[in-house]
């Protein structure tokens, strides 16, 4: 089986300008993900998908690897309203060409994902014969979730909310998980399926520790990642 990693890193971040190339513990953010993919034992090629040649040249200067390929995205392919899933489906031939096998989508905002995690996710893909997505546990029980309206009235998301039942012991709350954006493994051919609506369809979760699942969205996340590194 051939495996191709796909790392999307556009240049138009608004909350943290140029987030994908900000220095994280001595390396641009996107380089951490590219290195994790390149270090995975079963990855044949790594595609950096970006609208910035500066980003690509910066990555190439740090990595100097023949494994690194470029998928250059035009401005209309890299806007903040363009979903990676849609881009993968619509531009499958542009991105992967004649490549077959499976692709690994790895978001650069999850820098603490390591090569071993990529290898384990691929092993799970081969073992189960189904697509895979990485996930981690919530740091607080979602059973307590509630909404607040314009009048500051709150209403629970779940009928069994401990705020209603009084069963507030943390030990009694069932652990829940969410995708962490670090790894997705799926057949390239699946992208030809018009009925495919999400990368989670028929997929199994690969569970990761929370400390390896930091998703950088703001400056605080960056600081946490630096401390963990």
Q: How do residues 177-225 score in pLDDT, each as one tens digit? A: 999 999 999 999 999 999 999 999 999 999 999 999 999 999 999 999 9
> What dihedral do alpha carbons 32, 35, 39, 45 form, nearest 10°?
130
Tell if the pTM clears 0.75, that is, is over it: yes
Q: Which domains does the chain have, with CATH numbers?
A: 3-137+177-223 (3.90.550.10), 142-172 (no CATH)
DSSP 138-166: -SS-GGG-EEE-TTS-EEESSTT-HHHH-
- How many CB atoms sit inside 10 A of residue 31's CB? 24
In order along its 229 residues, the chain shows pLDDT tens digits of 999 999 999 997 767 778 999 999 999 999 999 999 999 999 999 999 999 999 999 999 999 767 799 999 998 898 878 899 999 999 999 999 999 999 999 999 999 999 999 999 999 999 999 999 999 999 999 999 999 999 999 999 999 999 999 999 988 899 999 999 999 999 999 999 999 999 999 999 999 999 999 999 999 999 999 999 9
d(CA 80, CA 226): 26
């Amino acid at each position: 089986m051939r495996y191709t990693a796909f790392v999307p890193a556009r240049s138009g971040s608004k909350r943290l300008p140029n987030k994908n190339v900000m220095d994280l513990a001595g390396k641009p953010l996107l380089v951490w993900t590219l290195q994790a993919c390149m270090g995975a034992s079963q990855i044949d090629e790594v595609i950096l998908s970006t609208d910035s040649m500066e980003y690509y040249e910066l990555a190439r200067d740090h990595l100097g690897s023949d494994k690194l390929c470029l998928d250059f995205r035009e401005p209309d392919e890299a806007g903040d309203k363009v979903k990676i899933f849609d881009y993968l489906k619509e531009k499958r031939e542009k991105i992967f060409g004649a490549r077959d096998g499976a692709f690994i989508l790895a978001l650069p905002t999850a820098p603490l994902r390591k090569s071993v995690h990529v290898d384990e996710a691929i092993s799970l893909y081969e073992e189960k014969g189904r697509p895979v997505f990485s996930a981690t546990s919530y740091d607080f029980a979602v059973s307590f979730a509630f909404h607040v309206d314009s009048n500051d009235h709150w209403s629970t998301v779940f009928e069994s909310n401990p705020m209603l039942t009084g069963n507030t012991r943390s030990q009694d709350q069932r652990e829940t998980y969410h995708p962490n954006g670090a790894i997705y493994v799926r057949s390239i051919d699946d992208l030809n399926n018009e009925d495919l609506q999400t990368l989670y369809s028929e997929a199994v979760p690969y569970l990761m520790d929370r400390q390896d699942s930091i998703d950088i969205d703001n400056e605080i996340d960056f600081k946490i990642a630096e401390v963990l590194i």
